[in-house]
Amino acid sequence: MIYTILVTLLAAALHIIPAPQQVTPGEGSFQIKSQTTVSCADAPEIADMLACKLSEATGYQIRSARSGGRIMLTLNSKLALGCEGYRLVVTPKGVSMVASEKAGLFYAMQTFLQLLPPEVESTSGAKRAEWTAPCVEITDAPRFRWRGLMLDACRHFISVEDVKRYIDVMASCKLNVLHWHLTDDQGWRIEIKKYPRLTEVGAWRKDFDGAVDGGYYSQDEIRDVVKYAAERHVTIVPEIEVPGHEVAAICSYPELSCEGVQVNPSYTWGVRNVVLCPGNEKVFEFLEDVFDEVTGLFPGEWVHIGGDECMKDKWEVCPKCQARIEAEGFVTDSLHTAEERLQSYTIRRVEKMLARHGKRVIGWDEILEGGLSGEAGVMSWRGEKGGIAAARMHHYVVMTPSHEGLYFDSYQGDNKVEPIGFGRYITLEKVYGYDPVPAVLAGEGLGEYVLGVQGNVWTEYIYDTWHRDYRIFPRAFALAEIAWSAPEKKDWDSFRARVDDACMRLDERGVNYHIPLPEQPGGSCDNLVFTDSVVVAFKTTRPVRMVYTLDGSEPTASSAAYEKPIVCREDTDIRIRSVMPYGKMSSVRTVKVRKQELAPAVEAPAEPGFSFKKTYGRFLSTSELAGATEWEESRISSLEEMGEQEPKTNTMQDVRFYGAVAEGYINIPEDGVWRFSSLCDEVWVDGKLLIDNGTDVKRYSRHDAEAALKAGYHSIKVVFLSNIIGGWPSARNKTTISYIHTL
């Protein structure tokens, strides 16, 4: 026990992520100088990579050689640490890295780089007086074979440059699988030469606002990225969706669907009932042709075929699908419907296609429905249930449950202040606390079937590189540690200290990351009101220093430190931000605190309900309503009716869009300050604009505001636009207004 604590403390002092299995401290340090040489007879490419890395950072001309270097890399087949294990010894006289295979040498190099100052990640010659690494002996090997990160390039395209950047950071923390999500309803991203329309048509979509979103990877670009990844011991697993999430393909070739009619590319998120037709033999010819080309581009063992969220209502009425069901003898029973068995049939046929190329199928846990085929692997995303079921059938499993912390499109803090996200609340600590081997599998002796663990970066609500980085990091470092390190080596306090060093290295790489923002306990709000005085408190999701100003100036590291709640007795703008131990600061939160008299109530309205008017059109902002000339006027009994003026569809792409205004009164039950929240575009109370959601993505309310009101009736005006911004249809929201009495 004492030894484990000492190892953990030493790993924290050394800032290594993921934590190594065994660490023995030495005395002194090794210094890199201008004449330092890196040598390796067995893997000269790794020696070259290290020499190049050190040269770029230090400005020295570090040479690589076959032998005789003070930094020596050696392959030794007798080292019993597996294909990715290594032994690293740093002394004042030199550095020795030994492994049984090249992957192990590569990871020894990554650990050595983490022993050096963070500026080693600079590519422009960082200015330092000394480049030293502490003396230490490390013996290390991974817990899992599959240590993955999934990038969704379909909802929003990711450039080749960015993909390579993620590969670099993955490799630095010993993640070794990049799951590349290449096809979906919103975009087909991989060139298939036999079917050029997949990228001519399927790679591009026109969003609600008229902007064109798209892009694709040529086969030459794919080969380049695969080679780049392989040099860093990262295997790329492509995902080609079958049989659902195929709108982009069906836009390009309508005959692949049951109905065979032209459809539009999806510019909303969610699931559509536009899927492949497994009753049509030409669909399997198409898939065979696609996988013939795909398998030639990706040399890895696994190909991901999706298999998730496939709506089957079209199959239920499709003559070809029903004929296939009858011919194959599929029947509905207590376990599966005939259509679920048809999906399983489709997956099995794809599995055979891939097997001819020496590949293995892996898919989302829905591929269990209808019966799991062959030797397919399962990615368990809807919790752990699917993974447990698959392991009990002796199938390999990659654990990636969304609500357990492995979906990185989720919020890391209060959604009132964080950039828009998909949902959920997944902190760094939650990711770090996850164990990929469920206790029930460990108890049954089936842990060996857990191939590994993966974090997923779905990009529906990730619109650019800054935002994508912000979601991934530093949670990817927690993922790396639960994927590599033994459970007994995990220590949250130690990890939290090491994350700071890892983030400094991201700064050197020019990679963005999440810094905990100042939040208000019980829910954040940027527009506060008081009648006498108010106490404003702040917290962060993990311990971070906060600084603030009250004079309107931008807070700096030397501004007043937040140590206790702030008491406001007059109009105040609290500008507050977090400061990391190494000086990096978060964005600034401005909380406007205003003193108000209680606004008087008015007489009860003559009639209940709200006056209402609407006008049809595709409006992006409320200012555009001024140009509308045709309005329909009526009266509604509740504000909820504002969003119920047109029938809703699953995709919300082909409905009639409109703008609407409702005016009436709300009854405030008691005197006091009331906090209002709404997903409508504007909320006016007593003739004053209280909430302005502008052109934000209105999936979550992020512009709450307060008002001081006397008990009784107060006028209210609500403006609602049925539109789609950032892929989210506002008509899915409730148009009611919530307001609570603040304490």
Listed residue (310, 369, 319) closest to 341, CA to CA:
369
H/E run at residue 116: none
Range of the domain at 651: 610-741
- Does a structural domain hold residue 159? yes
Residues 300, 171 share a domain: yes
Determine whether 15 is an active site residue. Answer: no
Residues 497, 391 share a domain: yes
Pairing of strands 705-709, 712-722: unpaired
- Does a structural domain hold residue 673? yes
Backbone angles phi, psi at 212, to 5 degrees: -95, 130
Pairing of strands 450-457, 527-530: unpaired
Angle CA 548–551–554, to nearest 5? 50
Residues 568, 431 share a domain: no
Residues 499, 537 share a domain: no
Give the residue from 123, 140, 157 where a domain finishes.
140
State the pLDDT at residue 649: 87
Residues 195, 173 share a domain: yes
State the pLDDT at residue 227: 98
- Does a structural domain hold residue 337? no
Determine whether 140 is an active site residue. Answer: no
C-alpha 431/C-alpha 425 separation (Å) is: 11
Helix 492-509 × helix 160-172 angle, to 10°: 140
Residues 160, 129 share a domain: no
Residue of 84, 121, 184, 706 marked catalytic = 184
CATH number at residue 686: 2.60.120
State the pLDDT at residue 11: 47
Residues 411, 481 share a domain: yes
- Does a structural domain hold residue 267? no
* Total domains in the fold of the chain: 4
The low-confidence residues of the chain, meaning pLDDT below 70, are 1-12
Contact 449, 399 (CB under 8 A): no
State the pLDDT at residue 3: 40
Which two tokens mark 666?
């709300």
Residues 166, 296 share a domain: yes
Amino acid at residue number 649: T
Give the residue from 140, 162, 183 where a domain finishes.
140
Contact 163, 182 (CB under 8 A): no
Mapping DSSP onto H, E and C, the string for 303-371 reads EEEECCCCCCHHHHHCHHHHHHHHHHCCCCCCCCCHHHHHHHHHHHHHHHHHHCCCCEEEEEHHHHCCC
Residues 427, 380 share a domain: yes
State the pLDDT at residue 7: 45
- Does a structural domain hold residue 334? no
Radius of gyration of the CA atoms of the chain, in A? 29
pTM: 0.95
C-alpha 677/C-alpha 12 separation (Å) is: 43
State the pLDDT at residue 13: 72
H/E run at residue 111: helix 102-115
Determine whether 309 is an active site residue. Answer: yes
- Does a structural domain hold residue 369? yes
CATH number at residue 456: 3.20.20.80
Pairing of strands 688-692, 682-685: antiparallel
H/E run at residue 28: strand 22-32
- Does a structural domain hold residue 95? yes
Over the stretch 229-282, which tens digit does the pLDDT of each residue have? Answer: 999 999 999 999 999 999 999 999 999 999 999 998 899 998 999 999 999 999
Residues 427, 478 share a domain: yes
CATH number at residue 542: 2.60.40
- Does a structural domain hold residue 1? no
Give the residue from 480, 509, 538 where a domain finishes.
509
Residues 586, 654 share a domain: no
C-alpha 450/C-alpha 278 separation (Å) is: 31
As beta bridge partners, residue 633 has: 613
As beta bridge partners, residue 457 has: 151
C-alpha 534/C-alpha 124 separation (Å) is: 50
CATH number at residue 55: 3.30.379.10
Listed residue (90, 118, 108) closest to 15, CA to CA:
118
Residues 120, 223 share a domain: no
Residue of 15, 179, 245, 714 marked catalytic = 245
Listed residue (555, 557, 564, 562) closest to 589, CA to CA:
555
Residue of 309, 573, 646, 686 marked catalytic = 309
